[in-house]
Amino acid sequence: MGTYTMSPLGLSSTEERVYRFFLRNPGAAVGDARTAAPMDEEGVRLAAARLRDRGLLHGSEARTWATDPGVVVARLAEEQLDAAYRTLRRLADPRPILRSLWRDVPARSFAGGGGVYAGSAIALDRLEDLGQALARIDRAAFHADAEILAAIPNRALVPLNTAHTLSLGLNCLRRGVRVRTLLESGAPAPGTGSEHLRQLRSHGAEVRVVEGLSELVLVYDRRTALVPVDAHDIDRGVLCIEESGLVGSLVTLFEGLWATATDLVDLPPSKAGTGTLTGAQRTVLLLMCTTTKDETGARAAGMSLRTYRRHVSDLLALLGACSRAQAALLARERGWV
């Protein structure tokens, strides 16, 4: 039978020997533990003190007992898993580390032999594919640990809702992240995410409405911002901004709107019913009713398969349909096709 050490749990070999000594010799004196490790008495005392501080030993130096192994292993494993999780989060997005290193590089200088230019950080990234943009939104929400600011015109609620971006706020709120959302005055159209907004409010999000909101702006921890390439068509993608001056300007814009906005009193229940369609939605609706494969419809519409299917999902939600066949019938009833 193999011997398993406690090193994965964060103990040194000396600490493990001392802990095992007291498991075998409950109530022994600390000085007696010198037989467990090839160290002088002072080294053993220091190891025992560290173990006592971590809750692995209890009692006095004259009489010491080891804490129950079941308690010790569970606690140490949890501590190591928490540390590993924090490390993984830092490694998943190492850009903050990279930015801190760039700040140490003198302006217009190169570091080391690799020729890393201090100004080479990607402070502005254009994501023309909506799928990539939504993935970046997901990642930014995952890494947010302080605050999320969102200014969302009503026309942007459909694509954001389809990708469950608004529901990401629920997870952020559970982690203690503050979420502030600005909406365009006037009720959201049916099927455009009012249920998600209601859930956000019930979990502690702050939601206000303001007149004249025309720009979609998302800001995460006041470090990263996302804005659409085209203010009137989010399907064209977004700009991901990390340049502090630009992000700061967007935060100032948001705070100005927030100060003049009013608290959202209530949202009307979502109802399937009438609504207006965009040109792209009308095209997809017609193709959805006349073609048998999404690939064929996407080619005919001149859009990617992912974008085509997103529009199909939007239409199902807008019509309150459970299937494409039902959506086609409901669309005909409304005279849309």
What is the residue extent of each domain of the chain? 7-80, 124-263, 279-333
Same topology for domains 7-80 and 279-333, yes or no?
yes
Q: pTM score, two decimals?
A: 0.46
- State which fold the 7-80 domain adopts: Arc Repressor Mutant, subunit A (1.10.10)
User: Which architecture does CATH list for 124-263?
Assistant: 2-Layer Sandwich (3.30)
What pLDDT, on the 0 to 100 scale, is given for residue 320? Answer: 64
What pLDDT, on the 0 to 100 scale, is given for residue 157? Answer: 60
What pLDDT, on the 0 to 100 scale, is given for residue 329? Answer: 78
Could you tell me which CATH class the domain 279-333 is placed in? mainly alpha
Higher confidence at residue 191 or residue 133? Answer: 133
Computed over every residue of the chain, the mean pLDDT equals: 77
Assess whether pLDDT exceeds 50 at residue 163. Answer: no
> pLDDT > 90: what percent of the chain?
14
Measured CA to CA, the distance from residue 93 to residue 98 in angstroms comes to: 10
The per-residue pLDDT for range 62-107, each reduced to its tens digit, is 999 999 999 999 889 888 888 887 776 666 556 667 667 766 766 4
Measured CA to CA, the distance from residue 27 to residue 29 in angstroms comes to: 7
Assess whether pLDDT exceeds 60 at residue 189. Answer: no
Assess whether pLDDT exceeds 50 at residue 187. Answer: no
Helices 130-143/165-174 angle, 10° precision: 10
What pLDDT, on the 0 to 100 scale, is given for residue 166? Answer: 57
Assess whether pLDDT exceeds 60 at residue 194. Answer: no
The per-residue pLDDT for range 102-146, each reduced to its tens digit, is 667 664 443 333 333 334 445 678 887 767 777 788 888 888 889
